[in-house]
């Protein structure tokens, strides 16, 4: 069985080991000892090399850790392993930060951590909370960073599961447990890699909240990740402030005011556009001659574009007059709109629904307005004769 060196020294990156097993391709190697951490407990695997050959995967099978290599390992009995130090330390910061955050949320609010995921850019914990407000997040972030600044020691111990006490979360494992402790606040059974003192975690930054399965998922970043993200956030905010010629601290209020002005302007524009569409409908009605049956028909055919509220307003204004039928079509997307006057003797919804059913389309509506979609522009064109065009 392989000795897991990271269990006792997470900072170890360079190591020597003997080859216990190797497959015929010499790309699947089992060592007597390793510093490589596999995917486990929400933490991704380590990257690195063995004798200069890239380790492309780590697979656990029946208690053995198989190092999957990107090329064949030469026939040797002893090897030199090298773990990517930067990636390992980043994972140590995120995982230790997760233990600290989970302990703080538990201590402050009684929220248990249900799951943990470490991503390439950010990490998340799922909390047993139906809701979490910004005040609670700020309080947890502040308390976690206070403990970071206190530089409390993290320690690793091995205890029998039957005798272990004081764990933040009960372990279902039996036998010897690896216990990771943060002085004065947390004891957790964990096989992951961790820093030696909370100061090495670096700053902790809480970002997004998301509802999931009736709980709350919290996104967080620690250490170098938090600093990089804070820099990107600051640069983005600074750019926005420059665009508005505003002091940085006043930008949020200014953007909110601009958005409100934009909403009001959009409301006014929409109102005016609908009024103009209504005028257009009345003009079209006046310009359209009556057919032999006394009905005025107007067809608006478009190559592309949606049949939107303005189109409906034109049609409804047209058919607010006597005995009118207004049809608008779009080839892309393949859609059709039918509007009928109340005295036209036509039920727009029924008429269109029957025509669509025969053409493989979908849609419907009421007596005055109906709309539908069809498989193609050709199907739209084929439908028009059924509507009197």
Q: Is the pLDDT of residue 358 over 80?
A: no
Q: Is the pLDDT of residue 260 over 90?
A: yes
User: How confident is the model over 221-258, as pLDDT tens digits?
Assistant: 999 999 999 999 999 999 999 998 889 999 999 999 99
Q: Residues 22-45: what's their mean pLDDT? A: 94
What is the enclosing helix (H) or strand (E) of 190? none
In which band, very low, low, confident or very high, does the pLDDT at 266 lie, cut at 50, 70 and 90?
very high
Task: Tell me the pTM.
Answer: 0.75
Decide: 272 and 282 in contact? Cβ < 8 Å. no
Q: Output the pLDDT for position 354.
A: 83
What is the enclosing helix (H) or strand (E) of 149? helix 134-150
User: How confident is the model over 267-296, as pLDDT tens digits?
Assistant: 999 999 999 999 999 999 999 999 998 899
In which band, very low, low, confident or very high, does the pLDDT at 172 lie, cut at 50, 70 and 90?
confident
Q: Output the pLDDT for position 352.
A: 86
Q: Output the pLDDT for position 383.
A: 83
What is the greatest pairwise CA distance in the chain?
99
Q: Residues 312-319: what's their mean pLDDT? A: 92
In which band, very low, low, confident or very high, does the pLDDT at 356 lie, cut at 50, 70 and 90?
confident
CA distance 99 to 96: 5
Q: Output the pLDDT for position 362.
A: 87
Structure tokens at 338: 């039918």
User: How confident is the model over 77-101, as pLDDT tens digits?
Assistant: 999 999 999 999 999 999 999 999 9
Contacts of 144 (CB under 8 A, 6+ apart): 97, 100, 101, 104, 204
Q: Output the pLDDT for position 143.
A: 98
What is the enclosing helix (H) or strand (E) of 180? strand 176-182
Q: Is the pLDDT of residue 311 over 80?
A: yes
Q: Is the pLDDT of residue 153 over 80?
A: yes
Q: Residues 336-348: what's their mean pLDDT? A: 91
In which band, very low, low, confident or very high, does the pLDDT at 219 lie, cut at 50, 70 and 90?
very high
**More confident call, 362 vs 29:** 29
Q: What is the number of alpha carbons within 13 Å of residue 27 lying toward its C-beta?
A: 9
In which band, very low, low, confident or very high, does the pLDDT at 351 lie, cut at 50, 70 and 90?
confident
Domains of the chain: 3-83 (2.40.30.130), 89-241 (3.30.980.10), 272-387 (3.10.310.40)
Q: Residues 202-207: what's their mean pLDDT? A: 97
Q: Residues 108-115: what's their mean pLDDT? A: 96
Q: Exposure of 365 by Cβ count < 10 A (0-12 exposed, 13-18 middle, 19+ buried)?
A: buried
Q: Is the pLDDT of residue 57 over 90?
A: yes
User: How confident is the model over 124-137, as pLDDT tens digits?
Assistant: 999 999 999 999 99
CA distance 220 to 209: 10
The runs of H, that is alpha helices, within 244-308 are 251-287
């Amino acid at each position: 069985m392989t000795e897991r060196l990271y269990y006792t020294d997470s900072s170890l990156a360079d190591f020597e080991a003997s080859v216990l097993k190797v497959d015929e391709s010499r790309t699947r190697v089992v060592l007597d000892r390793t510093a490589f951490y596999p995917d486990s407990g929400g933490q991704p695997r380590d990257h690195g090399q063995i004798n200069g050959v890239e380790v492309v995967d780590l697979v656990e099978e029946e208690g053995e850790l198989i190092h999957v290599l990107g090329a064949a390992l030469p026939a040797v009995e002893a090897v030199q392993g090298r773990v990517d130090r930067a990636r390992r330390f980043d994972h140590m910061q995120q995982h230790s930060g997760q233990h600290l955050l989970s302990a703080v949320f538990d201590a402050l609010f009684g929220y248990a951590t249900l799951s943990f995921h470490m991503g390439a850019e950010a990490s998340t914990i799922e909390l047993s909370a139906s809701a979490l407000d910004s005040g609670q997040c700020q309080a947890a972030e502040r308390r976690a960073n206070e403990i970071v600044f206190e530089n409390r020691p993290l320690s690793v111990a091995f205890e029998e599961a039957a005798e272990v006490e004081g764990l933040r979360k009960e372990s279902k494992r039996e036998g010897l447990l690896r216990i990771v402790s943060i002085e004065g606040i947390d004891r957790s059974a964990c096989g992951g890699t961790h820093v030696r003192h909370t100061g090495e975690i670096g700053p902790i930054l809480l970002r997004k909240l998301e509802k999931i399965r009736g709980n709350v998922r919290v996104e967080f970043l620690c250490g170098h990740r938090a600093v990089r993200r804070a820099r990107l956030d600051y640069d983005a905010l600074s750019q926005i402030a420059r665009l508005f010629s505003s002091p940085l601290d006043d930008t949020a209020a200014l953007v909110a005011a601009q958005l409100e002005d934009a909403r009001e302007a959009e409301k006014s524009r929409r109102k005016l556009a609908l009024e103009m569409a209504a005028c257009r409908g009345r003009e079209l009605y006046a310009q359209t001659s009556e057919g032999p049956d006394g009905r005025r028909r107007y067809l608006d055919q478009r190559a592309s574009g949606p049949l939107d509220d303005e189109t409906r307003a034109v049609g409804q204004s047209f058919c607010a007059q006597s005995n009118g039928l207004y049809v608008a079509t779009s080839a892309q997307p393949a859609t059709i709109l039918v509007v009928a006057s109340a005295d036209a003797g036509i039920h727009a919804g029924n008429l269109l629904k029957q025509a669509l059913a025969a053409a493989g389309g979908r849609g419907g509506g009421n007596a005055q307005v109906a709309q539908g979609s069809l498989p193609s522009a050709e199907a739209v064109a084929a439908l028009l004769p059924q509507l009197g065009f």
